[in-house]
């Protein structure tokens, strides 16, 4: 059985997108400060094989990347940090899990997560968030093209700030993974970015939500003004987590100073 | 056929160790400044199954760790950076290769490397170095207990500073991997450490020696005075390498501030 949802959250994705209606609570939460929750632009997408591949989603031509291939590829400059992230996720996430994409953007991570949790039991859930309505629409369109309606129904999308995760995920749903893609949207406007204050709140919320054995995955884009400030916030948060209950680590290119940094926080 | 060695280098290990004799050139090279080349203490070893396992060397009970298990274990706080390093090495190093252990210490890495290059052709070579005679003796004893004489003959050990790699590796031997374990020796005296100046020279030499497709692997222990200075030097060197010919990356625990940092430099 799928975990029960709070009444306002059980709205089907297509209804959510059609009406763009959320409860007042979801429109503006006390933890969400409008000037901080700056919107991110999205780029329209088509679920081509190339995009599915770049999203780390297996296609007939390109099977799923394992951790070994992804990490050795990263070390040798042939694979991206996001591919390492997806490969690690696949080792953590199981069919039927509840997971969160805290920054949907184009929907790449959302789709990758959906493929990880979806099975014939239809118990898996992906809760997706993005402060910008258009990003949610983009993600929805992408999912529609990439998977059938039935699987798409496992995804619940919300156009709200990522600091408000706890308002959308049912309290009795153990969360296995929360994924963040911070900074500007690749291919988008680099001046439209996530910001440290709400990211910090989002990480705090994610750490409360996460079940034992779960993972918070943060890919921090740093090649724009403010990017290193946000990295500092994430690292500071990661370093504050107690070693007896958390393992936190960082994977970073050194001679590509603006390459995104992957930070993984595992709740023991 | 094994690659030809320079006459002074073709001395067999047992002769080298018995006489502790090196040519004057090897005793004091122009690049080696005695006050910088401080010796490191060693701990005596026995090649127990536990030590072989901790050295990343497969035993009947504990098979070799793959990259996937090592990296996911690292992310979840169950595996060490050195286990990730060894797993990555196994993906880079091939039977018959020439490799260098630039800081032999107890011989753990030396043995792991020997197992990676040794096969029935006896073409593989491990060139091992340590500034301290006793570390070389310790490594030799460890190898003697862990492998037969025949395989041990594939290892050439030299009690010299790691900045002098180029003096011991034959010029026509393409080097696939150079491994560094910097800082104090685990279990040893933390005041006896490698130092930034000779480490920088050693990295420069290693980068010249390395063949295309090869790897410089640097594990930097930072939990002692001077450790972070040495990390700075390694990171600075790694960041200076051109992206068109090198991929350099870093793997680091965040909430264990004195955990060793793994830096990998791949020559494309």
**Which residue carries 């204050």 as its tokens?**
A197
B181 touches B100 (CB < 8 A): no
Give the Cα separation of A113 and A136 in Å (integer).
15
Residue with tokens 């059985």: A1
Q: Look at residues A163, A160, A114, A157 and name the one whose alpha carbon lies nearest to residue A138.
A: A157
| B88 to chain A: closest CA residue | A72
Q: Show residues of chain B in contact with A254, CB under 8 Å.
A: 235, 238-239, 248-250, 263
Range from A43-47, B84-88, B237-241 carrying the lowest mean pLDDT:
A43-47
d(CA A202, CA A198) in angstroms, rounded, equals 6
DSSP conformation class of B31 = T
Contacting B residues, span 216-235, partner chain A, CB-CB under 8 Å: 235
Are B184 and B192 within 8 A, CB to CB? Answer: yes
SS3 at position B216: strand
Q: How confident is the model at residue B52 (pLDDT cuts 50, 70, 90)?
A: low
Q: Which pLDDT value is given to residue B27? A: 29
Identify from A240, A249, A261, A267 which residue to disrupt to test chain B contact, counting B C-beta atoms within 10 A and taking the largest count: A249
Predicted confidence at residue A54, as pLDDT, reads 58
Residues B146, B112: Cα–Cα separation, whole Å: 10
CB atoms within 10 A of CB B62: 14
Window from A95-104, A137-146, A223-232, B143-152 with minimum mean pLDDT: B143-152
Whole-number pLDDT of residue A120: 94
Distance between CA atoms of residues A112 and A109, nearest Å: 5
Determine the distance in angstroms separating the CA of A66 from the nearest CA of chain B, rounded to an integer.
7
Contact B88 A76 (CB under 8 A): no
Instruction: Reply yes or no on whether the pLDDT at B74 is more than 50.
Output: yes
A253–B contact, CB cutoff 8 A: yes
Token code pair at residue A94: 């199981």
pLDDT above 70 covers what percent of chain A? 74
pLDDT digits (tens, 9 = 90+) for A163-197: 999 999 999 999 999 999 998 765 556 666 788 99
Touching check for A76 and chain B: CB below 8 Å?
yes
Decide if A88 touches B, using CB distance below 8 A. Answer: yes
Flag whether pLDDT at A144 surpasses 50.
yes
DSSP assigned state of B7 = G
pTM, whole model, 2 decimals? Answer: 0.84
Contact of A236 with A199, CB cutoff 8 Å? no
Mean pLDDT over A207-235 rounds to: 95
The shortest C-alpha distance from A90 to chain B (Å) reads 10
Structure confidence at residue B50 (pLDDT):
62
A215 within 8 A of A88, measured Cβ to Cβ: yes
Q: Strand (E) positions, B79-124?
A: 98-101
Sign of the CA dihedral with B217 first, then B222, B227, and B233 last: positive
Q: Is the pLDDT of residue B143 over 70?
A: yes
Looking at the complex, does the CB of residue B19 fall below 8 Å from at least one CB of chain A? Answer: no
Neighboring chain B residues of A79 at a CB cutoff of 8 Å: none
Cβ separation of A247 and B75 shorter than 8 Å? yes
- Please give the radius of gyration of chain B, using alpha carbons only, rounded to the nearest integer: 17
* CA terminus-to-terminus distance, chain A: 26
- Confidence band of A228 (pLDDT split at 50, 70, 90): very high
**Higher-pLDDT residue of B66, A26:** B66
Contact list in A for residue B238 (CB cut-off 8 A) is 254-255
Total residues belonging to chain B: 268
pLDDT band at B23 (very low <50, low <70, confident <90, very high): very low
A to B CB pairs, distance under 8 Å: 108
Residues of A in contact with B67 (CB under 8 A): 67-68, 71-72
Higher pLDDT, B254 or A56: B254
pLDDT in tens, B161-217: 999 999 999 999 999 999 999 986 655 566 667 889 999 999 999 999 999 999 999
Count other Cβ atoms within 10 Å, centred on residue B258.
12
Mean pLDDT of A75-90: 98
- List the single range of B48-57, B141-150, B245-254 with lowest mean pLDDT: B48-57
pLDDT category of residue B22 using cuts at 50, 70 and 90: very low
pLDDT by residue (tens digit) across B102-114? 999 989 999 999 9
Q: Which of A235, A254, A263 sits opposite B248 (nearest CB)?
A: A254
Cβ of A91 under 8 Å from any chain B Cβ? yes
- Answer whether A187 touches B (CB < 8 Å): no
The mean per-residue pLDDT over the stretch A199-205 comes to 97
């Amino acid at each position: 059985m799928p975990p029960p949802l709070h009444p306002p959250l059980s709205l089907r994705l297509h209804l959510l997108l059609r009406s763009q209606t959320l409860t007042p609570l979801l429109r503006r939460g006390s933890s969400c400060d409008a000037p901080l929750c700056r919107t991110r632009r999205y780029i329209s997408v088509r679920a081509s094989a190339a995009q599915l591949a770049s999203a780390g989603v297996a296609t007939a031509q390109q099977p799923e990347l394992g951790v070994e291939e992804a990490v050795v590829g990263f070390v040798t400059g042939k694979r991206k940090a996001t591919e390492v992230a997806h490969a690690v996720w696949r080792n953590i996430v199981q069919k039927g899990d509840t997971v969160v994409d805290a920054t949907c953007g184009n929907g790449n991570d959302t789709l990758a997560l959906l493929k990880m949790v979806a099975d014939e039991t239809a118990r898996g859930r992906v809760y997706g968030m993005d402060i910008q309505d258009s990003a949610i629409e983009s993600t929805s369109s992408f999912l529609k093209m990439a998977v059938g309606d039935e699987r798409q129904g496992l995804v619940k999308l919300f156009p709200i700030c990522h600091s408000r995760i706890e308002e959308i995920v049912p309290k009795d749903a153990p969360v296995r993974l929360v994924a963040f893609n911070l900074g500007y949207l690749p291919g988008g406007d680099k001046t439209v970015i996530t910001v440290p204050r709400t990211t910090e709140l989002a990480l705090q919320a994610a750490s409360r939500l996460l079940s034992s054995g779960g993972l918070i995955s943060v890919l921090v884009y740093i090649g724009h003004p403010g990017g290193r400030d946000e990295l500092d916030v994430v690292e500071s948060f990661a370093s504050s987590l107690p070693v007896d209950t958390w393992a936190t680590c960082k994977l970073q290119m050194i001679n590509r100073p603006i390459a995104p940094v992957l930070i993984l926080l595992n709740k023991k």
